[in-house]
Amino acid sequence: MAEPAEPNHRQRKILLGGTSFLGALLLTLFWPWAPYVEQPIQYNHQKHLNAGLECSDCHTLYSSTPFAGLPTIETCGMCHTEASTGTAEETKIVELVKQGEPLHWKQINQLPTHVYFSHQTHVAAAGIECAACHGDMKQRTVPPSEPYFTWTMDSCINCHAQRAATVDCNGCHR
């Protein structure tokens, strides 16, 4: 009696290995490196800025602290005690205002713990526009889900060099 022919295991292993390698390569190349962040409210910067608000109306700490600050439910509640536009996002914010629930904004720009960045120094003292680091928020109809650019030492050094600012290590590193 003749034995059944065995499939070519070597070819199958090569094909499987090649496919796995190609899949891993594609995953590495196209996987988003910056974490995707979704905010609790899909805040429309364009609408609010066109209505006459300034960045400082919601980001109230930028001139006096390192952190720019994020809008509180009380800030939103100054205008949003009742729904006026009928949008789902406004309905969410009105409900949060009525309940006195805080907004749980998520930080987008993540710097290493050994790096010190101060909005007070960069914006209030040096006069750098918000758009330099955050992009043109006047055009955004939804909150950013990732940083405007990649925060690297080179990007900071280049910005400092363009503005003739110090590049002393102790200025930015803890």
CA atoms within 13 A on the CB side of 108: 18
Render pLDDT for 113-146 as a digit per residue (tens, 0 to 9): 899 999 999 999 999 999 999 999 999 999 999 8
The residue written with tokens 């805080």 in the block is 102
At residue 13, the 3 state secondary structure works out as helix
* CA–CA distance, 138 with 158 (Å, rounded to integer): 25
Report pLDDT for 26.
65
**Global model pTM greater than 0.75:** no
Q: From 109, 136, 137, select the one nearest 35 (Cα to Cα).
A: 109
Pair 71, 39: CB distance under 8 Å: no
